[in-house]
Structure 1
Amino acid sequence: MINKRFRDRNGKLTKSISEINKETLEESKKYFSMPNYYIYQGVEYIYYKNVGNAICLVSTDCKGKEIYIPLESSGQFLPDVASVGMEIFLKFDDLNHVEKYIKERKYFPCCLYIGNELFLQNQSYKGTCNELYTNEHGYTFKCSSDIYEDEEEQYKVNSYNFLKNQNL
């Protein structure tokens, strides 16, 4: 289950749509960018281009489905913001692409597809790692950067843990 921002325990919004749009705009600009792939309602899409002030995603199934999302409200489709069933998930072929994405954008999504499997960030993960660890439950890996002088602190901040989504 994805923990949703801007919602109470009952799933009701705790902020106005305009406040959510403002608070998520910069994040959504990092999230929706070329040449990324996405999953929306079970269909794979690729980021195509911006059309005016809208993001255009095009399906990869040769049926030519297109989704146009106004840039100013694109944060409403982030997995931890969107209503259930309206999430747009990042999709990667393998972990190398995930690591490259995070390093380039200095952004880490709350969940993503690796191949055809959905993984959720383990919010309770506390610890460090120096390399990729894989087990039947998920992955843990680090993304190195030169931001932190203290190497141990760098690993704490740049280490992420994914768990396979058992609820789907």
Structure 2
Amino acid sequence: MNHGAAPASLTRQAISATLHCLTGCAIGEVLGMVIGTALGWSNLATVVLSVVLAFFFGYSLTIRPVLKSGVALKAAIGVAFAADTLSITVMEIVDNGVMLVVPGAMEAGLANWLFWVSLAFALVVAFVLTVPVNRWLISRGKGHAVVHQYHGGHEAHAHEGHHDHH
């Protein structure tokens, strides 16, 4: 009995998963860019630091609620890797790609609006491109669909009932 509700809720889940991932990525990304830029590192070193931190925070934000539901750390890390690796990867490629192609964005420095506008723009582009990736993963029962099993009474389940048929 599918009356068109699933695609909308799927998109909602994908957006929520992407926002979740984006939050972690943004924290890591901004910290990496700030630290790298403040220390006068090369673009490559700054990007590498941003990516490492983005993965760290991205996974942390996914792992926390999963751990709260009583899953062992090792299993929670597995869930986070399964859920977020592709979306964080896409997001980081796009994000850092945008920062590198915007003229002067990496050199702009932290006091310069160009740096922050470019970073915000990069995150928006990354968000827009990552939503379909997450939507595809969730539609196939992967990605954040895996995480949602662990969210007790999460909004996605509140108005949707469990879809266990594969």
Question: TM over 0.5, yes or no?
Answer: no
Query: What's the TM-score, normalizing by structure 1?
Result: 0.25
Structure with greater helix share of residues: 2
Instruction: Between the two structures, name the one with larger relative contact order (CA 8 Å, sep ≥ 6).
Output: 2
Over alpha carbons, which structure has the higher Rg?
2
Query: What's the TM-score, normalizing by structure 2?
Result: 0.25
